[in-house]
Chains A and B, each alone.
Chain A
Amino acid sequence: EPEVTQTPSHQVTQMGQEVILRCVPISNHLYFYWYRQILGQKVEFLVSFYNNEISEKSEIFDDQFSVERPDGSNFTLKIRSTKLEDSAMYFCASSGRGQGGEKLFFGSGTQLSVL
C-alpha cells in the first residue's frame, strides 16, 4: 500500500540553527501539506502546496518557514532559525485530486526537538 514517508524520524537541533524536514508523498498525489503537533496540543495546519506554490498557510507559517518541492518526489519543510517553541512533531501529508481527493494521507512524522 502506498504511503507517505518522512525523514528523519527524530531531529535534535540547537536554537537558531536551520533544519530541513523531508517527505516523500504518495507518488500520484498532487497536493502536499505540513501539519504539526506540539506535545499535549491539537494537530494544527501549517501549509498546503499545489502546482509548485503555496496554496494556503496558517499564521504559524511565518517567514522562518519555507516549503519546497526540489524534484519530482521530495517535499521539504525548512525552518530557517529554530526557536524553542518550534519543538513539535511535524507531519507531512498528501492527497490526490477529484472525487476523494480531500482524503489526506499522513506520514509517521518527524519529532523535532530544539534545545
Chain B
Amino acid sequence: GENVEQHPSTLSVQEGDSAVIKCTYSDSASNYFPWYKQELGKGPQLIIDIRSNVGEKKDQRIAVTLNKTAKHFSLHITETQPEDSAVYFCAASYGSWGKLQFGAGTQVVVTP
C-alpha cells in the first residue's frame, strides 16, 4: 500500500519568513496530493491540492510542487503570518476514490 512520510514534524518560523514542508510517497500510482491545515479543535481543512499531471500550483501565499520521478511533493508558505500557525498534513490518494494516505503532520508555529 501507499506510505507517506512528512518532514519536519515541527517548524518554527519568524513572521514574514517562508515555511517549507516536504513529503514523500511510495506508490507511483498515486495521482492526487492534497494538503490540509488543522487548527486546534477543528477538522482538517483543504488548503491546496495538486494532480500528478501538474508540477506546480500556486494560490496566493501558498504553493505546492510535485516531483513524480522522485515521488516527493512540498508545501511552500511565503510571508508567513501568525494565523498560519497550525498542523499541516500532506496526503496522497491511493486505490479508490477518496482514499487518502496521510503524512504524520507538521506543527507550524509562526512567531511575531
Q: Residues on A close to B: CB < 8 A?
A: 4, 6, 31, 33, 35, 41-45, 48, 50, 55-56, 91, 93, 95, 101-109
Contacts and interface: CB of A to CB of B under 8 A. Distances in A.
B61 interface: no
Interface of B: 32, 34, 36, 41-46, 49, 89, 91, 93, 95-105
14 contacts: A31-B97, A42-B103, A48-B96, A48-B97, A55-B96, A91-B44, A95-B98, A101-B97, A103-B46, A103-B49, A104-B34, A106-B43, A107-B43, A108-B41
Dominant secondary structure of chain A at its interface with chain B? strand
B98 A93 contact: yes
A33 B42 contact: no
A45 B46 contact: no
Nearest to B102: A43
Nearest to B51: A102
A41 B6 CA distance: 13
Contacts of A93: 98
Nearest to A92: B43
